[in-house]
A and B are shown apart, each in its own frame.
Chain A
Amino acid sequence: MSLVYAGVCSHAPGITGRAERADPVVRDEFYANLDIMRQDIKDSGAEALVVVAAEHFANFFMSNMPAFCIGMADDYEGPIEDPEWIKIEKTKIPGNPDLSKRIITEVMQTVDTAFAEEWKFDHGIIVPLHFLTPEYDLPIIPVNINCQGPPLTPLHRTWDFGEALRRACDSVPEKIAIVGTGGISHWPATPDSGKINEAWDLDFLERFKANNKEAMLSYTDIETYEQAGQGGFEIRTFIAIAAAARGAKANVHFYAPIPIFAVGCTCAKFEL
């Protein structure tokens, strides 16, 4: 059929794990915008949700680190984190291996992607799903881009991957939604946790909203690390979705720094 929804959101574990410590006004506005995403995905009639995430050594390690990987399992499990710590119960999440196989096969025509028939979701996927598919009733196709273990996937390859995902989504009869999770500037899990470069975030979001490929691909990892921290490497997931949106402009319907969540919390939807 086609891609029926494309958006991005934040995925930090504090969003659920440290919810009670955030300012309730800002937090609840953020949650309300995640709920808008949930409703938009539902209204799109999506039959599967592709989640392009930046995982954090839940499945992939420097023993064998793929630049890209796509899940192809009957079902998945998560969170890998301690449920008390992340405040999400362990659960089983449905997949669709036949759909995954067709998407992977098409992506591989232009981009070398690994695939995986087992996958444990960490906060990069389970935190967004907690809000976007809270009943875990929509088949998920997890996708990972290496934003953690250098050498990282180059930004321009991420763009090519996003284009390949769009072509693959358009090649199957099912209605597909796609969501990227991560970023933007942050210094997670370090003593600097809570540091957020709001100016850098807003500048990135201007490039993102305009779907300005050249401007988004112009960052170097050295600059990103200095200005946006190691968490800034996760702009790859946003860039992949921008590429999948194929020139469409984005509506950033929420952005606000929430330090105890360790990130500038973001929700955006492309006008496909």
Chain B
Amino acid sequence: MSLYYVQKILYDLNRSDQAQREYLDNIDLFLESYPLTDEERKAIVEPDIGLLYVLGVNGQLLMHFAALHKIDWDDYLKAMVAGIEQHGPVRAGVYTMTGAGKRFSASIEVKPSN
């Protein structure tokens, strides 16, 4: 379990255009210096947003990692719910799911008329 380093990778990617280029160019080489379990490495390489969420990756890092992979907002939210359905509850951290997969925002919001 090296959640710290999983999150560190996402932190490093978020901060640096060069790191993003190196990561996208050769993921294996980029990940070489980070101690990861096989499950963590697989989750990043795929990328498996749902599994990363379940592993405990902070959403503030994960949503930008999803954006890096051009995963749009609604698909990002769905991927986290799917991750829980597949792998069980979030294992660490403070970004757990509390709403049992319920959607709290609409695709387009319109104020109810009185």
Contact = CB atoms under 8 A, between A and B. Distances in A.
Interface in B51-85: 58-64, 67-68, 73, 77, 80-81, 84
Nearest to B72: A85
Contact of B98 (A26, A80, A148, A229): A229
Interface stretch (B8-16, B21-29, B34-42): B8-16
Contact of A195 (B81, B95, B98, B108): B98
A112 interface: no
Interface stretch (A101-109, A135-143, A237-245, A255-263): A255-263
A187 B99 CA distance: 10
B77 A191 contact: yes
A259 B109 contact: yes
B111 A26 contact: yes
A62 B101 CA distance: 29
Contacts, number: 97
B1 interface: no
A58 B68 CA distance: 15
B60 A189 contact: yes
A189 B59 contact: yes
A23 B62 CA distance: 27
A57 B11 CA distance: 7
Taking residues whose C-beta sits less than 8 angstroms from the other chain, chain A's interface range is 35 or more
Given A57-B61, A58-B15, A21 B97 contact: no
B33 interface: no
A240 to B, nearest CB: 20
A120 interface: yes
Nearest to A86: B67
Nearest to A225: B94
Nearest to B3: A62
A192 interface: yes
A259 B101 CA distance: 15
Interface of B: 4, 7-8, 11, 14-15, 58-64, 67-68, 73, 77, 80-81, 84, 94-99, 101-111
Given A148-B60, A188-B59, 13 more contacts: A18-B73, A21-B107, A56-B61, A57-B61, A62-B4, A82-B68, A187-B104, A189-B58, A189-B63, A191-B84, A195-B98, A230-B94, A259-B106
25 contacts: A17-B73, A18-B73, A26-B109, A26-B111, A57-B11, A57-B58, A61-B8, A81-B67, A85-B67, A148-B60, A187-B104, A188-B60, A189-B60, A190-B59, A190-B80, A190-B97, A191-B99, A191-B101, A192-B104, A193-B105, A194-B105, A195-B99, A195-B104, A230-B94, A262-B105
